[in-house]
Amino acid sequence: MSDDPFLRELDLEVEADIELNAEGMVGPDDLGSPGDWLVDPVEVQEESIELRSLHGAIEALESDSGPDPAVSSA
């Protein structure tokens, strides 16, 4: 695991955003009229996907134990 304070802080922020995003999601039966929506449910779902992808990338960076093996030293 990385000791990078920036990555740890970013991970905490993304996790908080994921929780907030989950609170804003509604089921298909609770959508109501589009005129009553504060946000578009499709945008909430897309944001959720983006946040989970970012969270996965952060976890990959945190668990990276060394240089990229694809990069060869000359």
Entry pTM: 0.67
In a domain, 19, yes or no: yes
How does the average pLDDT of the chain come out, rounded? 80
Q: Domain count of the chain? A: 1
The domain of 10 spans 5-24+39-63
In a domain, 44, yes or no: yes
Q: Tell me the per-residue pLDDT of 3-39, one tens digit each, with 9 for 90 and over.
A: 789 999 999 999 999 998 887 776 666 667 777 777 7
Structure tokens at 27: 């089921």
**For residue 49, pLDDT beyond 90:** yes
Would you give the DSSP letter of residue 61?
A: H
In a domain, 15, yes or no: yes
In a domain, 12, yes or no: yes
